[in-house]
Chain A
Amino acid sequence: MNSTFISRRKFIKLVALSSGSLLLLPRCSNSFNPAWRFFTAEEASLVDAIVEQIIPTDEWMGAKDAGVTNFIDKQLVTHLSRFQNKYREGLYSLAITCQELYHKKFHELPWDDQTEFLKKIENGSHNELTSIHGRYEGGRIWNGGDDRSFFRLIRDHTMAGFYGSPRHGGNRKYVSYRMIGLNYPVIQGRNKHV
């Protein structure tokens, strides 16, 4: 047989292989992380714990269950992408600081210790935190009072995620609207201009 043509047997084999390989296409999804867009799993656990401290669960679900971490994560790859570095460095610094001070991860701390720790971050308690400056990644830990500004940043975003519209990724099941008794969806008939 002429070497420029493939045999029928080889042709069938190739077609079968080509078609069969298409079955592997869905496996491409494994290259994506379906859970988070920007955060790593570790960062997401940390953010979950921080936002839950800011808006804790009571008779209404707190920020964690309301999907605030999802909101921040979603916004960080879209409208708030300019804050990506601040989050990456802030969460890294917070994790390192917590490990240095308590020898535990933040989300493993007892509730009251978490509160106490965040109060220090909020107040920018440099005296204690500066002792670990320079020991990690060229002194990237809380440079120039970044602890306070990072707390403000994540607090503001927590509020936005919890009280904003669910279409942005937070406020799951309209929890904040229901919590504050908002008349939502607004019930009003027509003839409003009469």
Chain B
Amino acid sequence: MNLSDKQKKIIGELFFAFLVTIIILGSFFGYWNSAPADQTCASCHEIVGSVHTFANSAHQELSCKECHGTALSNGLHSMKEKSMMVVNHFRGANTEDIRMNEYQVLEVMNNCKRCHGSEYAKWESGGHSATYERIFLDSVHNSKEQLNYDCLRCHGMFFEGTIEELVKPVSMDGPWKLTDKKRSEMHTIPCMACHMIHTDGYTMSELLTEDHYSDSARFFPTHSPGLSFYDRAEKANYPVELMSTIKLYGADTLLTVSSDGVTRNCVQCHSPNAWHEAGTSDDRIPRGVHKGLSCAACHEPHSNYERNSCATCHPAISNCNLDVTQMNTTYADKNSPNNIHFVSCTDCH
């Protein structure tokens, strides 16, 4: 095919424009993904607060893209989302409260796993990795207690909708179905239900410096710095440092409860009724012979595994020549009337 000079010129110009565009975008992309956050993400005042908080966090040595990916990580969706942020910025819309949606929260877990593989595997093996299907389509539970808005406080807390939009029917008569079948295998309690990433904390290298030695003993925090409870109503994590120790009542007596941060966090969901009566609802706060113990004294934090817990404090055979693991408690037998969390001396003697 013979092209005229004019056509050749147009093709040449188009090719030139294409080349220039590729080079410019490529340069910009390369720059954006390698420059410090202060010169990139934090250029937007909507994000600067979050970046500055991150700069004091345990993850401060990572770059934004390690968790959030690049503008192209999620294909067109990312580009559309970020473009809309720019549009909204210039429209003057309130874009300060930028938050990840549920899919992004679950996606980020893959990034958590890259470095915290052990914790992730433990979480996956425990009850807290339960899926939507496991939690919301449990016919035994659903026929005893009607699903309601408050279920979402501790399960599916990142779901952006109502219980009616999640499960149908919302009644005690099944069969129950998720309105979106794709959700059935999604996890209901992701890492960020209990962990806040953008918060003050020490890096591991900081923890291993001289400053963290005290009287020849290593000083480590008793829990991870971002330990917190995701407050669905506020769409923000509530740090354990701000939580008060629950006042738990047995009859009219105020019971001894561990003030440990892990316990304060667990109690948010494994909680007694609104009057804080011991033994009601999902209360698992240790009392009786185990009063004052932290949840973390017996439970591994991510898997909740507890089968090695007795040996932590009790010798293989206790002082009275009894094997505590074989005593009549729910530790030995789930059907025992003596709940290991509440068992007291008088239950047996």
A43 to B195, CA, bound (A): 37
Q: Are B45 and A191 in contact (CB under 8 A)?
A: no
A190 to B94, CA, bound (A): 36
Overall SS of chain B's interface: loop
Given A187-B246, A190-B151, A190-B282: A34 and B48 within 8 A (CB)? yes
Q: Does A3 contact B (CB under 8 A)?
A: no
Q: Are B229 and A185 in contact (CB under 8 A)?
A: yes
A34 to B45, CA, bound (A): 5
| Interface residue tally for chain B (C-beta within 8 Å) | 48
Q: Are A189 and B238 in contact (CB under 8 A)?
A: no
Q: B23: which A residues are within 8 A, CB to CB?
A: 15, 18-19
Q: Are A26 and B39 in contact (CB under 8 A)?
A: yes
Q: Are A173 and B242 in contact (CB under 8 A)?
A: yes
Which parts of B212-245 form the interface with A (CB within 8 Å)? 229, 231, 233-236, 238, 242-244
Q: Which residue of A lies closest to B44 (CB)?
A: A29
Q: Does B27 contact A (CB under 8 A)?
A: yes
Given A15-B23, A19-B27, A174-B238: A192 and B150 within 8 A (CB)? yes
Which parts of A116-170 form the interface with B (CB within 8 Å)? 165-167
Q: Does A74 contact B (CB under 8 A)?
A: yes
Given A22-B27, A74-B96: A15 and B20 within 8 A (CB)? yes
Q: Are B236 and A18 in contact (CB under 8 A)?
A: no
A78 to B23, CA, bound (A): 40
Query: Interface with A: B70-78, B162-170, B271-279, which one?
Result: B271-279
Q: A5: which B residues are within 8 A, CB to CB?
A: 12
Q: Does A23 contact B (CB under 8 A)?
A: yes
Among B27, B39, B281, contact of A191 (Cβ-Cβ < 8 Å): B281
Contact with A along B170-209 (1 / 0, CB 8 A): 0000000000000000000000000000000000000000
7 closest residue pairs by CB, A with B: A189-B281, A19-B27, A188-B274, A26-B43, A189-B282, A29-B43, A34-B45
**Interface of A with B (CB < 8 Å)?**
4-5, 11, 14-15, 18-19, 22-23, 25-26, 28-29, 32, 34, 74, 77-78, 165-167, 173-174, 178, 181, 184-194
Q: Show 28 residue pairs from A and B whose CB-CB distance is below 8 angstroms, ordered by the A residue.
A: A5-B12, A22-B28, A23-B31, A25-B43, A26-B40, A29-B43, A32-B45, A34-B45, A77-B92, A77-B94, A166-B234, A174-B238, A178-B242, A181-B244, A185-B268, A187-B271, A187-B272, A188-B271, A188-B274, A188-B281, A189-B270, A189-B272, A189-B283, A190-B150, A190-B151, A192-B150, A192-B281, A193-B148
Q: Could you list 20 further interchain pairs (A-B, Cβ under 8 angstroms) beyond the known A15-B23, A74-B96?
A: A4-B9, A15-B24, A19-B24, A19-B28, A22-B27, A22-B31, A26-B35, A29-B44, A34-B48, A167-B234, A174-B242, A178-B242, A185-B268, A187-B246, A187-B276, A188-B272, A190-B282, A192-B150, A192-B281, A193-B148
**Interface of B with A (CB < 8 Å)?**
9, 12, 16, 20, 23-24, 27-28, 31, 35, 39-40, 43-45, 48, 92, 94, 96-97, 145-146, 148, 150-151, 229, 231, 233-236, 238, 242-244, 246, 267-268, 270-274, 276, 280-283
